[in-house]
Chain A
């Protein structure tokens, strides 16, 4: 059946941690990014905040690059002359804005073992906060379904598509899960479950507040004595998570690595950070924070540079 590829609802964290590409069979093989939770993503739909749009067109050819944040991370979007509708929409948008995007998954592999994932948009529309909240809910639900499927698969001595389908999972998911388990081996589903929980909390104002109070109560007992509880804003929450000294460490690190005016490749930063006992996940959090603050930027995909 030449059925149309479904637009997966996948959070940035899950999408960006994918390193497996897979090509289908048949006359026009379809290429997929297989996420650690078994989503076989050819087409995807994302609603988030457009944080910046860059016009990188050359010689009269339109090209825009944009970054879109969801509660778990960022998506990279690039639209050129072959995506006229999406490029047109981006040219009219001024960040920050809520945007809904449907597009194709893209992987850029500059060298063995390194993959940068982005979205090649088909359609982009500016939307309201309600549409964003609904997407977060849908992405949360579908992520939870995938987590469940992966956990079922991990519990089987040898997971098969048929066995997963018998449990009620659709064939494309069952197939993706089998591939994901084979390739990613031990999948840390708790990590994704936690990010689903955080994402859901982020669209529920009351529970965010509660969470925040808890977080500051446990992590900042001493500090809380000296100053009144900080403002209940999400920004503050990040402040708690990523200390200023860590940001400093990473900035210094980047300074020492910066030999090329185009910036420093991401994987070199990861290497150097490892030596300073900062693991990749942590580093991603710190770098995201620095990007938000505008201390660093990404001159091109996969390159980081201080401002």
Chain B
């Protein structure tokens, strides 16, 4: 690879190593990893940083993200954005006066507020397009805030790389339940309260009351937490303005307190029963939302995973035993259980699903006792998994439950599942008619 192309990578390695190696040394080593060992650039960079005792954990792979993908609480983010506004303010930190810079950044996905804590050598101007490495994020009023600290590296780019970006400010965004995303700022959403309960919780050592439940419109359902008593009752239809969206394990949740405006409305709205019966969701849409409460997906079980079948569980903690051993309690007399761990894929995305004994028995048409008997007869536990593999792999299944997201993708603890039967003909005819109507 040409040396000039390696320059930004060398700079990044140097930064991660805190100047332990000279640029020439890094260049030589990087070249060796790339040309001799044929490592990929990110891998080579990581290896060099680790080898010289640098911190490779927060070390970015030089991977720029869209602003809409950035989450609160990230220690190291890289992105390309346009500077939409630049303001300065004098603050007092530990008795010392200091000037900081703040404003908005934007790209073609969203706009976010930023604060620059060290403004020397940061000649930011409105309209600049900058590539940023090593920023960190916080949450502020339900919105991601980007911070430029001491580790920041900013490079000016060609301003035409990002076109005009409107600043998202002013009134709350009016959205449907399905459109709710983590950290989108103030939102206004309308829905029917499907359930609500009062709970006592402790927040930062203080006892507090929270009213939590499920709100639904025709696009989906969302968990909400009201931190102030709005005297909400089940089945009421309400418009909530100036709420914020937080995420619990990736699932967007609505949160609001006395800053919010809540109006009870009497217009026509789908009944609780209609809202309860969720339609099918696309896995790609759930992935874009970062998870979802109580949804139904339909797809093919593309893989029955290890850990499926007949397993033994620890009587103390119910963990699955590995060769008769519990990770926590050592060798124990386990009790048998059945489960399915599989990947369900609907063509738009994939979700890892776990089904309990009851669901497994129903899908397989065999009880736990019968499975135990079979395994004993064959003197082999694995035959239950083998049978599962034979019977369920590549079968079409409908599954309902909540879907959560983490770095390994989406997962669902399945509440309800069955083999799906689809009236292909009707649906195919409908698609064909639509297609022919376009011609």
Give chain A's interface residues, CB within 8 Å of chain B: 1-9, 25-27, 29, 43, 45, 100, 102, 122-123, 125, 127, 130-131, 133-134, 136-138, 140-142, 144, 160-163, 165-166, 170-173, 193, 196-197, 200-201, 203-204, 207
How far is it, in angstroms, between the C-alpha of A197 and the C-alpha of B409 when the chains are bound? 34
B82: Cβ under 8 A from any A Cβ: no
- Least distance between A32 CB and chain B CB atoms (Å): 15
Q: By the criterion CB–CB under 8 Å, are B61 and A27 in contact? A: yes
| Residue among A9, A123, A142 making CB contact with B394, cutoff 8 Å | A123
Known: A4-B409, A45-B345. A27 touches B394 (CB 8 A): no
Residues of chain B in range 327-349 having any CB-CB distance to chain A below 8 Å: 343, 345, 347-349
Q: By the criterion CB–CB under 8 Å, are A26 and B435 in contact? A: no
| Residue among A27, A43, A142, A200 making CB contact with B432, cutoff 8 Å | A200
B109: Cβ under 8 A from any A Cβ: yes
Contacts of A201 in B (CB 8 A): 432
Contacts of A137 in B (CB 8 A): 422, 424, 427-428, 431
B217: Cβ under 8 A from any A Cβ: no
Residues of chain B in range 419-433 having any CB-CB distance to chain A below 8 Å: 422, 424-425, 427-429, 431-432
Contacts of B300 in A (CB 8 A): 7, 45, 100, 102
Q: By the criterion CB–CB under 8 Å, are A123 and B410 in contact? A: no
Residues of chain B in range 383-400 having any CB-CB distance to chain A below 8 Å: 393-394, 396
Q: By the criterion CB–CB under 8 Å, are B428 and A25 in contact? A: no
Main SS of chain B's interface residues? mixed
* Interchain residue pairs with CB less than 8 A apart (8): A6-B345, A6-B350, A25-B42, A123-B302, A142-B348, A165-B109, A170-B288, A197-B435
How far is it, in angstroms, between the C-alpha of A207 and the C-alpha of B429 when the chains are bound? 9
The 4 closest A-B pairs by CB, nearest first: A162-B108, A3-B409, A170-B284, A100-B394
Q: By the criterion CB–CB under 8 Å, are A203 and B345 in contact? A: no
Known: A102-B302, A130-B424. A144 touches B396 (CB 8 A): no
Known: A7-B345, A197-B432, A204-B429. A2 touches B407 (CB 8 A): yes
| Residue among A4, A27, A171 making CB contact with B42, cutoff 8 Å | A27
Contacts of A100 in B (CB 8 A): 300, 394
How far is it, in angstroms, between the C-alpha of A166 and the C-alpha of B393 when the chains are bound? 36
- Least distance between A46 CB and chain B CB atoms (Å): 11
Contacts of B46 in A (CB 8 A): 27
How far is it, in angstroms, between the C-alpha of A133 and the C-alpha of B424 when the chains are bound? 7
Which of B108, B284, B288, B347 has the largest count of A CB atoms less than 10 A from its CB?
B347
**What number of residue pairs across chains A and B have CB atoms under 8 A from each other?**
130
Known: A1-B409, A134-B396, A170-B284. A163 touches B345 (CB 8 A): no
B352: Cβ under 8 A from any A Cβ: yes
Q: Size range of the interface on B?
A: 35 or more
How far is it, in angstroms, between the C-alpha of A43 and the C-alpha of B108 when the chains are bound? 29
Closest to B390 in A: A125
Bitwise, B361-405 to A at CB < 8 A (1) or not (0) is 000000000000000000000000000000001101000000001
How far is it, in angstroms, between the C-alpha of A137 and the C-alpha of B435 when the chains are bound? 13
B12: Cβ under 8 A from any A Cβ: no
Contacts of B347 in A (CB 8 A): 6-9, 45, 138, 142
Q: By the criterion CB–CB under 8 Å, are B428 and A133 in contact? A: yes
Contacts of A166 in B (CB 8 A): 108-109
Give chain B's interface residues, CB within 8 Å of chain A: 40, 42-43, 46, 61, 63, 66, 107-109, 283-285, 287-288, 300, 302-303, 343, 345, 347-350, 352, 393-394, 396, 405, 407-410, 422, 424-425, 427-429, 431-432, 435-436
Q: By the criterion CB–CB under 8 Å, are B436 and A197 in contact? A: yes
| Residue among A4, A163, A196 making CB contact with B343, cutoff 8 Å | A4
Q: By the criterion CB–CB under 8 Å, are A4 and B432 in contact? A: no
Q: By the criterion CB–CB under 8 Å, are B425 and A4 in contact? A: no
Closest to A140 in B: B431
- Least distance between A189 CB and chain B CB atoms (Å): 12
Q: By the criterion CB–CB under 8 Å, are A207 and B432 in contact? A: yes
Contacts of B61 in A (CB 8 A): 25-27
Known: A3-B409, A200-B432, A207-B432. A123 touches B303 (CB 8 A): yes
Closest to A136 in B: B428
Contacts of A125 in B (CB 8 A): 393-394
Contacts of B409 in A (CB 8 A): 1-4
Q: By the criterion CB–CB under 8 Å, are B107 and A27 in contact? A: no
4 more A-B residue pairs beyond the given contacts A27-B61, A172-B284, with a C-beta to C-beta distance below 8 A: A45-B345, A102-B302, A123-B393, A137-B427
Q: By the criterion CB–CB under 8 Å, are A1 and B407 in contact? A: yes
Known: A25-B61, A123-B394. A4 touches B428 (CB 8 A): no
Closest to A47 in B: B394
Q: By the criterion CB–CB under 8 Å, are B40 and A27 in contact? A: yes
- Least distance between A158 CB and chain B CB atoms (Å): 9
How far is it, in angstroms, between the C-alpha of A171 and the C-alpha of B65 when the chains are bound? 12
Q: By the criterion CB–CB under 8 Å, are B345 and A3 in contact? A: no
How far is it, in angstroms, between the C-alpha of A203 and the C-alpha of B428 when the chains are bound? 8
How far is it, in angstroms, between the C-alpha of A162 and the C-alpha of B209 when the chains are bound? 41
